[in-house]
Structure 1
Amino acid sequence: MQNPSVFISYSHDSDSHKDWVYQLACELVKNGVEVTLDQWDIQLGSNIHKFMEKGLTNADRVLVVCTDNYNTKSNEGLGGGLAMKRIFLLLNYFLLKIPPSLFHALEK
């Protein structure tokens, strides 16, 4: 039986949030989940659109780590502009792969 795979989608709100997502990904890997995460799967100069498309296409599930910033970027088209629009188009296309979202409260 093949290990389940997940693509993690999140916003780079702060260093502590990025670290929290990294730790989450590490825990998933420890528990036998194949994780696609930008922090270890993208190198400088990589094509972000291809990364997202491949990650979303190949993953069994998409894990969306929602924060207020993530929600604002998605609703208002802020942040990565075309990249954000593209990921949400792809997320809508792969809607069946999205489990209940995980909310991470940031320290204020």
Structure 2
Amino acid sequence: MTTVTLSLADRDDVTRRALAAFDGEAQGARISFASVELLWKTLTPKRWELLQALAGQKAMSIREAARRVERDVKAVHADVHALLDAGLLDRTAEGSIVFPYDAVHVDFTLKAA
């Protein structure tokens, strides 16, 4: 099973992981957000539902993704582009979309202000 980890990370954390990767240390699939607000702005409930429908599936059209989540194609199209921009979805050479993971792990700690 291929799992992507969504996390909060500042520039120093991302740089540290990149340098470790260049030194040959496996980092695993990870997508980092600068703040919890950005993470929640990007991953709305409807987008989570879309990722769940795409997880572990082969590449498909936006129309097929909309059918699977029983939503309007235009609304799913907007969500797909937000997820593409965030690096959560990939586009194939044929123009289909794919979520190349079977699972999502969210990793962050909420601290007192």
Greater helix proportion: 1
In terms of Rg, which structure is larger? Answer: 2
Same fold, TM-score > 0.5, yes or no: no
TM range (shorter): 0.3 to 0.5
